Structure 1
Amino acid sequence: MSPRLRSALSAVLIALSCLLVPFGALAAWAAYGLADTDRYVTAMAPLAADPDVREAVADTVGDGILRAVDQHLDVRPVRGSVRPFVRDAVRSFTQTQAFRMAWDTGNQVTHDAVLRALREEGERDVTVDLAPVTAQVKRQLTEDHVPLAQRIPVEHTAVAVLPAGELVALRKGFQVLEVAGFWLPVAAVVFAAAGIGLAVRRRRAVVATALGTALGGALLVLALAVGRRMTLSDLPADVPHPAVGAVYDALTGTLRTVAWLLLGLGLAVALATWLIRQLRRARLARRGPASPAPASAQAQAPTRARV
């Protein structure tokens, strides 16, 4: 193979490798990060202490309890007297260990339900039940001797997490992600190794691969920032934006770390390769050119050879 053809083929392989780096990282994160229940629960666990998330949970659960009270208690003075106690009780409950345990359990149950819906056949809504949280709040109100707290109904209300109409498209996309999450990173590594192996000037090929990897990491960081802004801008006005932003940051934390690692590792490898080349040049310059052989030795060399 001619040097020109080798260089061209090497450039194509390295370009493909660098192009696959951000997509491979994204697919692997979706397939092996979001799809893993334990990792998902671990990522979401710190949000139980986030003030914005706790406020959003308190508003959601409190509104649900108050709606149930409005349906079952017809005396408006009673509803008005219970309302502030319910709000305070729910906010107080979100600061307890029991809430953190309920938060982890709820996330695990929800994640298992979504995964089951994505991996199995069926066209039913994925729902969760907030009755355990309502029961805990009712127990706390009763212990605080709030009037008529015992009459607050604990109803098993199914809250839709994933509509049935979206399952078909999401199921197909999830299957593609499971395949791409494995093969895209493998293909990126194989293309990079083949491109460097075919290169005529391998040091330049290593630098190009490293800089392309760093560029892919930078693009991934930018994509995460743009995705966060678009996610928040598309939310309805009644959805708490700070809480959604906290959830987005928690879910994409691992991917963001990988993106920065790709950026830093690529720049470090490129810089190290450049420094090694400069040090080698400096060492050769200090040695100087090789001194020529003495004239007498050159004259005697043919005589000795003939003898």
Structure 2
Amino acid sequence: MSTAVSTVLIALVAVLTPLSALAVWAEREIGDTDGYVSAMAPLAADPTVRGAVADRIADEVIRQVDVGPFTGGVRDLVRDAVLSFAGTPAYATAWNTVNRAAHTAVEQALTSEDGDAASIDLAPVIEQVKRELITDGVPFADQIPVADITITVVESRRLGAARAAFDDLQAAGLWLPVGTLLLAVVAVPLARRRLPALAALGLAVAVGGLLLRLVVAVGRALTLGDLPADVDRAAAGAVFDALTATLRLASWCLVGVGLALAITAWWAGRGQGLAEALPYASGRRRAR
């Protein structure tokens, strides 16, 4: 009976392991401003995101500023100025600033019914670019609007379906991984043969890691497949990858640790079996 209970607990560990990783991610990264800013910080150097920001600013400037026959030239100047600024430490600082301000909107989009999109205000970036263009004597630069230019970082019509699960995971927080660890600790002593149970537990952890990787891959496909036509797919993919980087790392760590535990337990059990078999074989030889 106890072995059957151990088997059930080990199976639960395989299911709860990816959920535990998602719960920690939801609370400590998406739900925490510093964690969110740290996750988004590498995108300041991502060429795809830089290009999307430059295109968004240039297009909006041309839309709001009447430059007459100079439209193409002014757009190129603005875009080049944004890309030039994007290579400076000041841009990285501005990027972190706008993402810190945007965190509340992103979390709200994921946890409430107030909309299916969240954007970041590019005002700090535009203000710096505008100063540089004015300094360079670019015509119409002083007319560039600083406010009301944003870029979308989260947008999907399917967000509503994921909100309930996200809320539950965020509420579970560290309790879910702690509970999963307790199940793992209890499962092995309950088994009649502990080393095989330990090997099975390692495989369960590895399977949980693969399930987590599958969840991230499916989530990426659904998110990018549901984007509006005016959202840059490559930039959105870079944002998704940045926000889920810790989950991908965690998935491979779980697979590695689980397999290492399973192989070690199997090898120890094999050695134990040989040790038990040797005295039996020796006794048979003496009997002959």
The two structures share one fold, judged by TM-score above 0.5: yes
Alpha-carbon separation, structure 1, partners of 2:276 and 2:151: 73
TM-aligned CA distance change 1:283 to 1:160, over 3 Å: closer
Q: Residue by residue, what CA displacement relative to the aligned partner does 1:60-91 show, whole Å, maximum 9, x if unpaired?
A: 11112222213xx5xx2244542322222222
Question: Are 1:39 and 2:35 an aligned pair?
Answer: yes
Contact 2:57 2:149 in 1 (8 A): no
Where does residue 220 of structure 2 map in the other structure?
Answer: 228
- Structure 1: give runs of 5+ residues left out of the alignment: 295-307
Structure-1 residue corresponding to 2:282: 289
- Alpha-carbon spacing, 1:205–1:77, altered in 2? closer, same or farther (3 Å): same
Residue 123 of structure 1 contacts residue 167 of structure 1 at CA under 8 Å; is this kept in 2?
Answer: no
Indicate whether 1:14 and 2:14 are aligned: no
Distance change in 2, residues 1:236/1:293 (3 Å): closer
* Aligned pair partner of 1:264 in 256, 278, 284: 256
Q: Which has the larger radius of gyration?
A: 1
Of all paired residues, the percent bearing the same amino acid is: 48
Does the 8 Å contact 2:45/2:87 carry over to 1? yes
RMSD: 3.3
Task: Tell me if 1:205 matches 2:162.
Answer: no
How many residue pairs match? The answer is 284
Q: 1:87 aligns with which of 79, 82, 85?
A: 79
2:18 pairs with 1:29: no
Write the distance in 1 (CA, Å) between the matches of 2:152 and 2:271: 63
- Residues 1-307 of structure 1 aligned to structure 2 (within 5 Å): 5-70=1-66, 76-115=68-107, 128-156=120-148, 175-285=167-277, 288-290=281-283
Distance 2:114 2:245 in 1: 32
Q: Distance in 2 between matches of 1:190 and 1:35?
A: 25
Pair 1:274–1:78, CA change in 2 (3 A) = closer
Q: In 2, distance between residues paired with 1:162 and 1:262?
A: 28
TM-score by length of 2: 0.84
Write out per-residue CA displacement over residues 124-183 of structure 1, whole angstroms, 9 at most, x where no aligned residue.
9976533332221111111221123223333455778789xx999988655422322222
SS of equivalent to 1:236? coil
* Letter in structure 2 aligned against 1:200: R
Q: CA deviation at 1:106?
A: 0.6
Mapped partners of 1:7, 1:122: distance in 2: 46
CA contact 2:133–2:141 (8 Å) conserved in 1 = yes
